[in-house]
Amino acid sequence: KEECKCITISDESGLYITDDYIVTHNSVAGVTIVGQLIDDCDKIVIFCQRTLIREWKKRFSTFSNIDIGIVPLSLSAKKRKEFYENNEAKVWLINYEKMRTDDFDVFLKVLKGKKCVFMYDEMQKLRNRKSTLHKQFAKIVKKLDPIQYGFTATPVEKKPDDLYNIF
């Protein structure tokens, strides 16, 4: 038996990889898809975990010249509302958790009637149908009817229904 070396990555569930693999990130595929869709919709919204916002920003600056709007985590609710209402970037990068806050209502109001594409990075975050987060996103999808893309390299952790629940 060979000994393997593992590293911990910045993920809430502490996922790991061995040193025999090249680490990639969903953001590379995401940036490519955004480039293909950007002219065919009004707004592309990428939802990701807070710890991955920097990674997405880096990939956009490396692989495209697309302007992205990032909702700063430290802004007050009033300033975040101004961001949603006034930011003209065609692509927004938003932490999943923002949909549990006052941002939810403003987000719905600003995007109502627009042709939207939603991209979910680490989409397993939405697998629990009983969670507040899943319920919030179900409301958003019902009201805005976006085109949706999901990214994950995480296997279904509990049961096959988890995959069904995501969609």
pLDDT tens digits for 6-23? Answer: 544 555 554 544 455 445
Interacting residues of 120 by C-beta distance below 8 A, sequence separation 6+? 47, 48, 126, 148, 149, 150, 151, 166
**Span 114-165, pLDDT tens digits:** 999 999 998 888 888 888 888 999 999 999 999 998 887 765 556 666 666 6
Q: Look at 69 and 30; give whichever has higher pLDDT.
A: 69
Q: Is 155 exposed, middle or buried (0-12, 13-18, 19+ CB in 10 A)?
A: exposed
Q: Give pTM, 2 decimals.
A: 0.80
Q: Tell me the angle at which helices 103-111 and 77-86 cross, rounded to the nearest 10 degrees.
A: 10
Pick left, alpha or beta for residue 41 (phi over 0 → left; psi -120 to 50 → alpha; otherwise beta): beta
